[in-house]
Amino acid sequence: MSDAILVFIATVVGVAAGSGITWWGAVDLNRKQNFSIASAKFINAFSSEISILDHPIAQQAGTTYNVLLEAFQRHNVACIEFNVFVPKPLRAGFNEAWETYRKHSANFNQEWPDHEKMNHLCEYLATNDEEERNARDLALKRLNRLLSYANVR
């Protein structure tokens, strides 16, 4: 009788352990799949602008400022939606990357004393070709930093 009880207990413990491992594996897989889907959606929200900025066709692409301003609402929504999928230890860095992209620096505020009247992307404004190249390079650098959080797993 005691052998039957031991076998029963061993079976119950084995089933419980197997179920727990299977459940943990399924939850982890689901989390990874959700992150992959959210990452693809997040990257897709920025892909057109990165393509335009990375390979502008003469003046037809528009200025960096205009390209980013036109897409800003879509970018903002994408960041809000993706924020919940960023791992908690990396979330502060992600939010900082977003703020760096969308807000102008303190030095820029000093150069534009009426910055309250300007919008959030005014750091990408340019008055000549060299400033436009610098604005485009800055925007691409910041966008790529932001998108790097979609590839953390």
- DSSP letter string, 1-63: -HHHHHHHHHHHHHHHHHHHHHHHHHHHHHHHHHHHHHHHHHHHHHHHHHHHHHS--TTTT--
0.75 surpassed by pTM: no
How confident is the prediction along the chain (153 residues), in pLDDT tens digits per residue? 588 787 778 787 787 778 778 777 776 777 788 888 999 999 999 999 998 888 866 556 678 888 998 899 999 999 999 999 999 999 999 999 998 898 765 555 445 555 454 457 878 888 888 988 999 999 999 999 999 999 865
pLDDT at position 117: 46
Structure tokens at 102: 């969308």
Residue tagged 């959030």 (tokens): 120
Nearest-10 Cα torsion for 100, 45, 131, 102:
-20
pLDDT at position 61: 64
Residue tagged 């610098």 (tokens): 134
pLDDT at position 32: 83
CA 4 to chain centre: 56
pLDDT at position 91: 94
CB atoms within 10 A of CB 85: 21
pLDDT at position 17: 77
